[in-house]
Structure 1
Amino acid sequence: MLKNEILKILESDARTTPEAISRMTGGSLDEITRIIKGAEADRTIVRYKTVVNWEKVSNERVEAIIEVKVTPQRDTGFDAIARRVYNFPEARTVYLMSGTYDLAVLVTGKTMHQVADFVSQKLSQIDGVQGTTTHFMLKRYKEDGEVLAGTEQINRQQVVL
């Protein structure tokens, strides 16, 4: 139970110190530290992450979600193809999905052309890939639970009738 509490706290804010987690949960500092180190060692905690609103920094980044239809491989199912896909540096995230397409791949590039080249020259060339559909992300509103856009206040004059 304490481990789940710790994981939820760190997922919400990876910068939370073990001392703060100890105060929040009532667990001892030694126990909190031991649980965190164990979770890091067994890869329950894979990485600490910062969510960046890249639109505030630059526009030199294009993101797309690529849906991929594949033929499952004998003995490995979707895993062998997914492994080939997630080893490409352009593929930031790869999911096995239910529905019409089998894999969802989040891709990042500098231009739309670069992303399209990745799809046509790398992704589509993998044996077992039957087809792809590319969805370019035009605006991010929320990521990992954090609202990125739409929080600006609209200042309109009040109309009185």
Structure 2
Amino acid sequence: MRKRILKLLESNSKLTPKEIALMLGLSPDQVAQEIAEMEKEKIILRYTTLINWEKVGEEEVAALIDVKVTPQRDVGFDEVAARIYQYPEVKSVFLMSGSYDLSVLVQGKSLKEVASFVAQKLATLEHVQSTVTHFILKKYKQDGVIFEEEVIERRQVVQP
């Protein structure tokens, strides 16, 4: 039952316990109790809204930064990751396989602000060996949501 509730909330956090109950054939009280327990257990961490800021003229610059780290004895990458995710500019931090150890999603008001964060804060951290910054130029899809669904006419005109 929990997984079914979580899947519904993940796809639409605005669903009420009553709506979820109708979808799953449960009582609204039962659903509300399960949700409250999952919030208490930190299974549900936060309810969010995905906004297309470009449509309201409030674009922010986002970048994915690959970070190579020297792992520390007994704590591996965890301590460096914790130092990185404390910065308010940092939206996400992931431990990765491959050439780089961490992938960091950063947001700022301008390219200069993000570049300054990387140069002055991130790259200067102890145990950070190198960084590679990839600026996000356009969002097509995020969290399963397509930003612009344009119908592109691909048929060619037939000439008589």
Distance 1:73 1:118 in 2: 23
Deviates more, 1:80-89 or 1:21-30: 21-30
Q: Secondary structure at the match of 1:95?
A: strand
Q: CA RMSD in A?
A: 1.4
Distance 1:146 1:114 in 2: 27
Deviations 1:3-50 (A, max 9, x none): 000000000000000000000001122211111001111110000011
Query: Does the aligned pair in 2 maintain the 1:60–1:111 contact within 8 Å?
Result: no
**Unaligned residue ranges in structure 1 (runs of 5+):** none
1:11 aligns with 2:10: yes
**Paired residues for 1:49-68 under 5 Å:** 49-68=48-67
Distance 1:156 1:127 in 2: 53
Runs of 4+ in 1 over 3 A off after TM superposition: 154-158
Distance 1:138 1:74 in 2: 38
- Name 2:158's counterpart in structure 1: 160
Paired residues, number? 159
Query: Does the aligned pair in 2 maintain the 1:61–1:108 contact within 8 Å?
Result: yes
- For residue 108 of structure 1, what is the amino acid of its counterpart? Q
- Name 1:81's counterpart in structure 2: 80
- Name 1:123's counterpart in structure 2: 122
Once the two structures are TM-superposed, the CA of residue 152 in structure 1 deviates from its matched residue by 2.0
- For residue 153 of structure 1, what is the amino acid of its counterpart? V
1:32 aligns with 2:31: yes
Residues 147 and 113 from structure 1, CA distance in 2 versus in 1: closer, same or farther, beyond 3 angstroms? same
TM value normalised by structure 2: 0.95
- For residue 147 of structure 1, what is the amino acid of its counterpart? I
